[in-house]
Amino acid sequence: MLNAKIPATVITGFLGAGKTTMIRNLLQNAKGKRIALIINEFGDLGVDGDVLKGCGDETCTEDDIVELNNGCICCTVADDFIPTMEKLLERENRPDHIIIETSGLALPQPLVAAFNWPEIKTQVTVDGVVTVIDAAAVSEGRFAHDHDKLDAQRAADEELDHESPLEELFEDQIRAADMVVLNKTDLIDTKRLAAVKTNVQSQTDRTLKIISAKHGDLPIEVLLGMGAATEDDIVNRKSHHELHHADGHEHDHDEFESFIVETGEIADTDKFIAGLKSIIADHDVLRLKGFCAVPGKPMRLVVQAVGQRIETYFDRAWQAGEKPSSRLVVIGLHDLDQTAIAEQIKAAA
């Protein structure tokens, strides 16, 4: 149909919930739909984009993938997101569908609200906001606040009006959702999954569409084509930040930080993983990911850590002109001891 708006799906969810994995599955099952991807990552190593490049060859070429690594997309709407969308829409070969992966720390609300900007409102609509949840992490209480600690902080600081940053993000990302994917169901039993579902639904008065998945493996018909036009309803899905700072106070991410550690080749992967596990536990690292070089191996090793769960696999050969190296992005709450973490990672390699 001429002049029909292009549908855009926003995929959000906390660090390591499985957004990139779900998108990878989706691209592989795109059934000829031409998809453009906008990927926003916290920590400027570009791991997600790199993992996705090449996995949907016919329906989503490298040219269709735009990486926005200049901070969280919710804070760079005017400078990054709108110009990127405008460029996409100017293309001769316009996509059938746009998928936007937010960083794990992004608030979806400002991004969805941007679809009401005149520059893009007439051409694109939000097909739906899909929030991916690490059901195992929720069940382990990762996003529940420590009541005793919070009460102590409140006693010390009467101004303190918000919950833990992790809990707030968890709630805000659910409040924005049209659909919630309870992912990583391979890691928890049905009883605990039912409790997670109840917890998720309790975050909003709207009845959410909640589905379960392993490795984000869901049919494209389930994820795309919701026709929700979420931009029309986003004012009713306010984030904690919007509710607490109606005065226009800027939202920022200074409760979180990320940095990159470069280390040598990884001679003993098992020893390295064991080392990473204790670093993650000692320093309360939320997310660690990157690519490593292994002596004598032509392939690069992908390292993905979410809490204490670490996955490694070789994804592709180092390419011509690419120097095999080991680089990891480390993400945690503010005040990470960057020097100690970097030293310990180098010692574990």
Ligand X SMILES: Nc1nc2c(ncn2[C@@H]2O[C@H](COP(=O)(O)OP(=O)(O)OP(=O)(O)O)[C@@H](O)[C@H]2O)c(=O)[nH]1
Looking at 53, 97, 175, 184, which residue binds ligand X (CB under 6 A)? 184
Under the binding rule (CB under 6 A), the answer on residue 306 touching ligand X is: yes
Quote the tokens at residue 339.
């020097």
Under the binding rule (CB under 6 A), the answer on residue 142 touching ligand X is: no
Binding range to ligand X, per CB under 6 A, among 70-78, 154-162, 209-217, 248-256: 209-217
Q: Give the 3-state secondary structure of residue 211.
A: strand
| 203: number of Cβ within 10 Å | 17
Contact criterion met (CB below 8 Å) for 100 and 125: no
Under the binding rule (CB under 6 A), the answer on residue 173 touching ligand X is: no
Under the binding rule (CB under 6 A), the answer on residue 56 touching ligand X is: no
Under the binding rule (CB under 6 A), the answer on residue 275 touching ligand X is: no
CA distance 180 to 200: 8
Strand 65-68: give its sheet, edge to edge: 65-68, 35-40, 97-101, 6-12, 124-134, 179-183, 209-212
Beta bridge partners of 210: 180
CB of 44 vs ligand X, minimal distance in Å: 13
Contact criterion met (CB below 8 Å) for 129 and 7: no
CA distance 32 to 220: 11
Total of residues contacting ligand X (CB under 6 A): 22
What does DSSP say about strands 179-183 and 124-134: parallel, antiparallel, or unpaired? parallel
What type of residue is 67?
Answer: E
Binding range to ligand X, per CB under 6 A, among 152-160, 169-177, 179-187, 332-340: 179-187
What does DSSP say about strands 256-263 and 326-333: parallel, antiparallel, or unpaired? antiparallel
CB of 333 vs ligand X, minimal distance in Å: 15
Under the binding rule (CB under 6 A), the answer on residue 287 touching ligand X is: yes
Nearer to ligand X, 212 or 230 (CB): 212
Under the binding rule (CB under 6 A), the answer on residue 183 touching ligand X is: yes
Looking at 33, 34, 162, 215, which residue binds ligand X (CB under 6 A)? 215
Nearer to ligand X, 101 or 231 (CB): 101
Looking at 20, 69, 131, 326, which residue binds ligand X (CB under 6 A)? 20
35 closest CA partner among 81, 108, 93, 117: 93
Looking at 6, 10, 15, 261, which residue binds ligand X (CB under 6 A)? 15
Under the binding rule (CB under 6 A), the answer on residue 216 touching ligand X is: yes
Under the binding rule (CB under 6 A), the answer on residue 13 touching ligand X is: yes
Contact criterion met (CB below 8 Å) for 299 and 317: yes
Say what angle helices 269-283 and 338-348 make with each other, to 10 degrees: 160
114 closest CA partner among 27, 5, 231, 6: 231
Looking at 186, 252, 284, 322, which residue binds ligand X (CB under 6 A)? 186
* Residue given tokens 């409790």 in the structure block: 195
CB of 345 vs ligand X, minimal distance in Å: 17
Nearer to ligand X, 172 or 231 (CB): 172
Binding range to ligand X, per CB under 6 A, among 19-27, 110-118, 198-206, 317-325: 19-27
Nearer to ligand X, 283 or 287 (CB): 287
Helix ranges (H only) for 215-258 are 220-223, 240-244
What residues make contact with ligand X under the rule CB under 6 A?
Answer: 13, 15-21, 41, 48, 104, 183-184, 186-187, 214-216, 287, 304, 306, 311
